[in-house]
Amino acid sequence: MTTWSVYILRCSDDTYYVGYSNDVEKRLETHNAGKGAKYTRSRLPCRVVFTEQHGSKSAAMKRECQIKTWTRAKKQALINGETPESIK
């Protein structure tokens, strides 16, 4: 069974990029080769600062969409292991 992960990258301009993949390390290599998302291409290099595993692709996609709507402060709380739901 394939494990899917949601990941957060910190880009060179200190912004965050949220995505999902079944191979985060390979996806990071793709991003850093300039072949990933258009957003990251001008913000290289990127590094993984958070990963969260999910049992299905659809669960990972839903979580990615949820995190993408969050403020930077909530994303930072998640990265730091805090409870982001308590942050507005």
Whole-model pTM? 0.93
CATH for the 4-86 domain, from 1.10.10.10, 1.10.240.10, 3.40.1440.10, 3.40.640.10: 3.40.1440.10
Q: Are 28 and 45 in contact (CB under 8 A)?
A: no
pLDDT above 80 for 24: yes
Return the ∠ at Cα 60 (arms to 54 and 62), rounded to 5°.
135
Reported as a single tens digit per residue, the pLDDT across 32-86 is 999 999 999 999 999 999 999 999 999 999 999 999 999 999 999 999 998 767 6
How does residue 87 score in pLDDT terms, banded at 50, 70 and 90?
low
10-21 mean pLDDT: 98
- In the chain, where the domains are located: 4-86
pLDDT above 90 for 31: yes
Report cis status (omega within 30 of 0) of the bond before 84.
Answer: no
18-43 mean pLDDT: 97
